[in-house]
Amino acid sequence: MSAEVSVTVGDLARALDARGWGELDLKVTGAAEPAATSPVGPNGGVIALAMAPKYAESLQPGSIAILADGMEPQAYGLRAAIFAPRPRLLMAGLTRAFDPGPEIAPGIHPSAVIDPSAEIGEAAAIGPFVVIGAKVRIGRNARIGAHVSIGRGTVIGDDALIHPGARIAHGVTIGLRIIVQSGAVIGGDGFSFVTPEESGIEEIRRTLGARDAIKEQHWTRIHSLGGVEIGDDVEIGANATIDRGTIRATRIGSGTKVDNLVMVAHNVVVGEDCLLCSQVGIAGSSKIGNRVVLAGKVGVSDNIEVGDDVIAGGASKIFTRVPAGRVVLGNPAVKMETQLEIQKAMRRLPRFAQQLAKLQETVTRLLEKG
């Protein structure tokens, strides 16, 4: 990691609300893994992340490190240290301190095409080739990277950071401090089609799989008139897609973080402070509660309700309602402890088959004897 900022160990400790030790006026220029550090020079040095003894073993004498409570800076020959009571939390403050962020020059690049009816807040940084539509409103301190497009009437709150090439369609409303990674598409049309007569999908949902005579039909498009509403402090990952609603808006609650390549379909409502990890897909009109965590590749069927505080393990497929607070796993997703039992039994399944066959033989012999 190379940074363009530098602070003293003492200032950094104060910023992190953590305890400093040693030469607190040494300059810190960035963070690194223990093996990548060297003794502090006249212009300072990087701070090593050594929050457990096994990491601290690679520390260079004369360097600066973050240690867990109880570790001894003298044992590693450090010149200064910061103690982390909750290491992952300290990482948040530390990395924020040294993140130079993407390069978007202050002001509006002359190549940007901004509709005269759009309102751009103070201190905006808008990159080359950005296109902003009619009646768009963007708050203060917006940083908008190259090639971003924002459609008619969309409203974005203060302190937005929109990375190059993100797409925000018309009629989208976004709160404060949004971060949109490159290639994300917010407000694409919902995937909603209908046939003149009952379709095969409607039929098998009614019959649980049985089909009558198959009809040849074409799909007619249901347009998406609803927009997308996103709360405060939301992050949308690279190449993720959040579709617009049919009549009302698709919604993402405040504090929710959406990873790369996630799909949130039309009319979905996601609550607050959720984590939707990479490649999650939520089908149309499903409702996700608050503080829900869906691990990578989790799928949620359409029109399903997932309660508050649910955690779904990696690649779980949710086909039915999940009550609040439940931890689920598997395809189809069931309680995690049930799934782990099922998996154990599955691994023993080939052996079961042998045991059952043998038992049948034995019983047959018993019957013959009897």
**Which residues belong to the active site?**
266
**Smallest distance, Å, CB 248 to a copy of itself?**
5
**Smallest distance, Å, CB 216 to a copy of itself?**
7
| Residue nearer to a copy of itself on the CB measure, 42 or 343 | 343
| Residue nearer to a copy of itself on the CB measure, 73 or 153 | 153
| Residue nearer to a copy of itself on the CB measure, 8 or 149 | 149
**Smallest distance, Å, CB 83 to a copy of itself?**
17
Residue appearing with tokens 């009109």: 285
Q: What is the DSSP-derived secondary structure letter of residue 216?
A: P
**Smallest distance, Å, CB 41 to a copy of itself?**
20
| Residue nearer to a copy of itself on the CB measure, 74 or 208 | 208
**Smallest distance, Å, CB 43 to a copy of itself?**
19
Phi, psi of 187 (to 5 degrees): 100, 20
Q: Is 344 helix (H, G, I), strand (E, B) or coil?
A: helix
| Residue nearer to a copy of itself on the CB measure, 25 or 99 | 99
- From the number of C-beta atoms within 10 Å of its C-beta (0-12, 13-18, 19+), residue 40 rates as buried
